[in-house]
Structure 1
Amino acid sequence: MNRQKLRGMKENFLQRRYAVSLGRRYVLAAASVVLFGVLGCSQVNSNSDALADSKMPQPELPLQKKTVKVDTKLVKANNKFGFKLFSEILTAESNEKNIFISPSSLAIALAMTYNGASGSTQQAMAKTLELQGMSLAEINSNYANLKSLLENPDANVQLNIANSLWVNQDVTLRPDFLQRNQEFYQAKVANLNFKSASALNSINNWVNDNTRGKINKIVDTIEPNQVLFLINAIYFKGQWSEKFDKNQTAEHPFYSASGQQKPHLMMSQTGEYQYYENEQFQAVSLPYGKDKKVSFYIFLPKQNSTLKTFYQNLNAENWEKWVTQFKSQDGFIRLPRLKTDYEVSLNDALKALGMQEAFSNQANFSGMGKNLAISQVKHKTFVEVNEEGTEAAAATSVGIVATSLREKPEPFQMIVDRPFFCAIRDNQTGSILFMGSILEP
C-alpha cells in the first residue's frame, strides 16, 4: 500500500514537472516568433539601426541581395537598346571622334519617364527601349531588383546608382507616377521654384554629389515652360583584380586611325586572362575586385581590319555570342592610360530609333500629367583608366516641358581618344554599364 502511494506521488510529480517544462517551451516558441517577426519587419523597413543593436548574428542583409533575381529579358532589352543607340550615334557622327555612353544610365532615366507615357507614345518608347511584351509592373520590379544586384558588388568595386525627379512647384503631376518612381527607382522627388536661380544649382549639385565630382553639371538652363527633370546618375570605381605595376609603364608609339604616330604612356602586364580571338579582332577581359563580378572588355581590331568593320558586326546578338567564348589564356597586354569625358544630346538618335512622338506636340504623357512632351535627353560621361583600376561616371537628364516652345538640341561635343571599342559589364547580370569607342589616347 505504501509502495502504491509512493508510486502515485512520483507519477504526480513527474506530470507537474512535464507540464511546467511544456509551458516553458510554448513561452520560448512564442518569444521566438515575436523575435523573428521583429527582425523581419526590420528588414522590410530597412531599419539597419535596430539590426545593429541586436546581439544576434545578422547574415540576413548580405544574403538577401544574393537571393534577388532579375528577369534576363530586362537585361537583354537594355543591352539591345544600348547597342542600337551606340550604332545610331556612330552613324550620325561624320568624323571619327570619341564616344562613351552608359546604356544603363540612359535606360533607367527613360524607364522612369516611361512610367508616365500612355497610348501610342508608350508603344513607341517600348519599341525603342526593347520593352515589348513586358508589363509596367514587371519592368519596375525588375529595375528595383537590378539596382539591388548591381550596386557595390565587391569590397574593391564601388558602384552607386541614384535617381531623382525635380518638379516645378507650379505644376501638379499624377501622384501614382511619382509614387512608382519613388518605390521602384528609389528616386528623390523635389519641388523647386524653377524661376529661382537656386533651382539650377540644386539639380547640378545633386549630380555632382552622386558622380563624386566627375560630372558637375547636366542642366545648363531651365526654360520657362519646363515642368520636370528626370535624372539618373551612376558612379563606378573599381580596382583591378591584378593591378598594373607603375614601374612597367613607359612611352610607346600609338598609331591613330589616320596613321599618325604619337608617343603615349602605356601600362604593361603579363598574366592569365579571359581572352578571345577571331579573324577580325583580339579581345580581353580585365576584371575588377576579388570576386571579378565586373570587367573591362577591350576589343582591338587586327591590323588587317578596322574599327568600321568591327562596328558593322557589333550588335546585341554578336555580343552575347562573343562573351561566351572567352577562355583562360596566358598572355601579355599593353594598355594606354586613358582619361576622357563626353557629352551628347540624344534627341536625334532617339527619334531615329522610333521615339519621334515623345518629342512632339502629339506626345501622350497623361500618366504623368497634362500636355507634356520630352524636350531634351542629355547624357554626360567620364572615364579614367590607370594602373590602379577604372573610375567612370554617367548622368542622364530627361527634360519634360509643356507642349509648346520646342527648343533645338545642342550640338554634339566629343573628345578624340584611342581607337578601340570597350565596355564595362556586370558579369553577374550581363548588364552593360558603359560602352565606348576610344580613338586616340
Structure 2
Amino acid sequence: MAAAGVMLMSVIGCSQVSDSTSVFAQSRPPHSESPMPAKSVLPNTKLTTANTKFGFKLFSRILEQEGDKNVFVSPASVAIALDMTYNGASGSTRQAMAKALELEGLTLPEINSSNAALKALLENSDPQVQLNIANSLWANQDVSFKPEFIQRTQEFYQAKVTNLNFKDAGTPGIINNWVNESTRGKINKIVERLEPEQVLFLINAIYFKGKWTNEFDKSQTAQYPFYSTSGKQKQHPMMSQKGKYKYYENEQLQAVSLPYGQNGNISLYIFLPKQNYTLKSLYQNLNAENWEKWMSQFTKREGFIRLPRFKMDYEVTLNNALKALGMGKAFSNNADFSNMGQNFTISEVKHKTFVEVNEEGTEAAATTSVGIVATSMPLDEPFRMIVDRPFLCAIRDNQTGSVLFMGSIVDPLIANGN
C-alpha cells in the first residue's frame, strides 16, 4: 500500500511574558482532542483559489532560490501553517500576510471556517484513500497567550492542546513522538532542541495513503535513459502503462493525470516539456491562471505513459521566499502578533519533504516549521508520453482544486534535493 504524508509545524517563541499563568486552563482541557463543530459545510472557493495563487508564487520563488535542483514542496502545508499563524497577527503585519497569502477579501472567520470545512472534505475524499489531517499546540507551561487565539485553533483546526515544561530535556521527544505517530513514521523528528526564547509549537500533520487506481505492472518496469538538463544520459528504472487517461497537450508541453483510489478524486499530475522546450520555459508560464486553464482542458485519451520511479528528500528555508512575497513585516522587530500575545516575530520558516513514486502509488511527507521569537487541442490518435527528461509533478485534490504537493524533478537518481 502506497502512502503520502504531510506534516507542517509552527514554532512560536517569546522571551518576554507578562505573567506565568497558562491561558489554556481558561479554554479547554490541556489534553482535549474532541473536535469542535465547523462553521461551514463546504469550503469557501475563495480560500482554495487563494491557496493556489499563493502556492504557485511560493513555488516560483523557491525555484529561483534553488536553481537547477530537485524541488518538492507542499503548498497546502505551508498555507495551513501560515493560516494558523495569521490568527495571531494584527495591524500592518496582518495586512502584509494577507497580501502574501492571497487572503485579501477574506475575513478571518471565513478563512478559519473554510479551513475546517476543507479538512472535513479532504478526509472523506475517497473510501479507498486515507487522508488524515491533525493539528496540535505544544505550549510552555510558564507562558500565557491570548485565549481567543488558542480557542480559534481548537475550534476551527481541532488542535490538540498540551502544556509542557520547556526546560525539561524530554519535551522535544514528546512532541516528536506525536509527529511520528501522526505521519505514520514518515516524519520522526522535527524538534532538535528547545531554545530559551521558544514558548509554543503549532504543528499540523497530514497523512495520505492510497494506491494508483490502475497500478503499474512491475514486470513492465525496465531500464531506460533519463536525460538531465545538461543532456547527460543516465539509465533509470522506468514504469510503463497503457490505458485511458485524462490528458492535455499544447505546443509547449504534455500532461497526464494519474488517479489514486476508487473515484480518482486525488491525482498525480505530470507536466513534461516538449523536446524543443525546457523545464525553465515551462515555469515561466506557471501561474495560477494558466494552471486553472490547463486543468479545464484535460480530456480522456487512450495513450502510453513511461514514468521514472523516483525517491528524494528535500529541505529549504522559506524566509527569503516569503519576504519576497511581501511578508517581510512578519519577520521584523516591528511585527505585530498582538492577537497571539506581546512582542512576537517570525524567526524562521523551514520546510522538509520526502517523496517516493513507484508501481503501487505515491508516498510523500512534508514538514513546515514557523519559528516565532520575541521581538491546446487534443490529437485523435493515442498519445505517447515518455517522461525521460526533467518534469513538473503535482498531487492535487480534484474536488476542491487544492494542490497538496508540487515538485520539479530534474534528476530522479539524486536521492537528496539539496
Instruction: Tell me whether the two structures share a fold, i.e. TM-score over 0.5.
Output: yes
Trace 1:228-247 onto structure 2 (pairs within 5 A): 228-247=200-219
Distance 1:237 1:308 in 2: 31
What do the CA deviations read for 1:217-261 (whole angstroms, capped 9, x no partner)? 223332111122222222222211111111111111111111111
Secondary structure of 2:178's counterpart equals: helix
Match for residue 87 of structure 1 among 41, 44, 60: 60
What do the CA deviations read for 1:296-321 (whole angstroms, capped 9, x no partner)? 00000011000000000000000000
Q: Does 1:179 align with 2:151?
A: yes
What do the CA deviations read for 1:252-275 (whole angstroms, capped 9, x no partner)? 111111111111111100000000
Residue in 2 that maps onto 1:110 = 82
Secondary structure of 2:355's counterpart equals: strand
Higher relative contact order (CA 8 A, sep 6+): 2
Distance 2:228 2:187 in 1: 28
Match for residue 49 of structure 2 among 64, 76, 80: 76
Change (3 A) 1:432 1:142: same
Distance 2:45 2:248 in 1: 24
Distance 2:206 2:315 in 1: 15
Change (3 A) 1:427 1:371: same
Change (3 A) 1:237 1:169: same
Residue in 2 that maps onto 1:252 = 224
Distance 1:202 1:419 in 2: 40
Residue in 2 that maps onto 1:433 = 404
Trace 1:365-384 onto structure 2 (pairs within 5 A): 365-384=337-356
Q: Which has the higher helix share?
A: 1
Structure 2 residue runs without a partner (length 5+): 1-33, 376-387, 413-418
Q: Does the Cα contact within 8 Å between 1:211 and 1:394 map onto a contact in 2?
A: no
Match for residue 367 of structure 2 among 378, 387, 395: 395
User: What is the identity, as a one-letter code, of the residue corresponding to 2:139?
Assistant: V
Match for residue 169 of structure 1 among 105, 127, 141: 141
Q: Does 1:264 align with 2:222?
A: no
Distance 2:246 2:52 in 1: 21
Q: Which has the larger radius of gyration?
A: 1
Q: Does the Cα contact within 8 Å between 2:132 and 2:206 map onto a contact in 1?
A: yes
What do the CA deviations read for 1:160-186 (whole angstroms, capped 9, x no partner)? 111112212221001110000011001
* Residue 356 (structure 1) shift: 1.0
User: What is the identity, as a one-letter code, of the residue corresponding to 1:82?
Assistant: G
Secondary structure of 2:316's counterpart equals: strand
* Residue 86 (structure 1) shift: 0.4
User: What is the identity, as a one-letter code, of the residue corresponding to 2:405?
Assistant: F
* Residue 418 (structure 1) shift: 6.7
Match for residue 124 of structure 1 among 68, 91, 96: 96
Distance 1:158 1:152 in 2: 8
- The range that moved more, 115-124 or 212-221, is 212-221
Residue in 2 that maps onto 1:317 = 289
Secondary structure of 1:144's counterpart equals: helix
Distance 1:133 1:338 in 2: 40
* Residue 152 (structure 1) shift: 4.2
* Residue 346 (structure 1) shift: 0.9
Distance 1:209 1:423 in 2: 25
Q: Does the Cα contact within 8 Å between 1:358 and 1:373 map onto a contact in 2?
A: yes
Q: Does the Cα contact within 8 Å between 2:35 and 2:158 map onto a contact in 1?
A: no
- Give the root-mean-square deviation of aligned CA atoms: 1.8
* Residue 146 (structure 1) shift: 0.3
Distance 1:218 1:329 in 2: 43
Q: Does the Cα contact within 8 Å between 1:218 and 1:396 map onto a contact in 2?
A: no
Q: Does 1:293 align with 2:265?
A: yes
* Residue 46 (structure 1) shift: 7.4
- The range that moved more, 201-210 or 117-126, is 201-210
User: What is the identity, as a one-letter code, of the residue corresponding to 2:307?
Assistant: L
User: What is the identity, as a one-letter code, of the residue corresponding to 1:93?
Assistant: E
TM-score normalised by length of structure 1: 0.80
Q: Does the Cα contact within 8 Å between 1:218 and 1:378 map onto a contact in 2?
A: no
Secondary structure of 1:197's counterpart equals: coil
Residue in 2 that maps onto 1:360 = 332
What do the CA deviations read for 1:345-388 (whole angstroms, capped 9, x no partner)? 11111111111111111011110001111121121111111111
What do the CA deviations read for 1:128-176 (whole angstroms, capped 9, x no partner)? 1100011111110110000000114213211111111221222100111
User: What is the identity, as a one-letter code, of the residue corresponding to 2:261?
Assistant: G
- The range that moved more, 254-263 or 267-276, is 254-263
Distance 1:98 1:87 in 2: 13
**Identical aligned residues as a percent:** 72
- The range that moved more, 346-355 or 394-403, is 394-403
Q: Does the Cα contact within 8 Å between 1:231 and 1:398 map onto a contact in 2?
A: no
Trace 1:120-159 onto structure 2 (pairs within 5 A): 120-159=92-131
Secondary structure of 1:257's counterpart equals: coil
Distance 2:42 2:209 in 1: 24
Q: Does 1:423 align with 2:381?
A: no
Distance 1:397 1:203 in 2: 13
User: What is the identity, as a one-letter code, of the residue corresponding to 2:313?
Assistant: D
User: What is the identity, as a one-letter code, of the residue corresponding to 2:75?
Assistant: P
Secondary structure of 2:193's counterpart equals: coil
Distance 1:311 1:191 in 2: 44
Secondary structure of 1:195's counterpart equals: coil
Residue in 1 that maps onto 2:161 = 189
Which segments of structure 1 move beyond 3 Å, counting only runs of 4 or more? none
* Residue 194 (structure 1) shift: 1.6
Query: Aligned residues, how many?
Result: 366
Match for residue 278 of structure 2 among 303, 306, 314: 306
- The range that moved more, 177-186 or 341-350, is 341-350
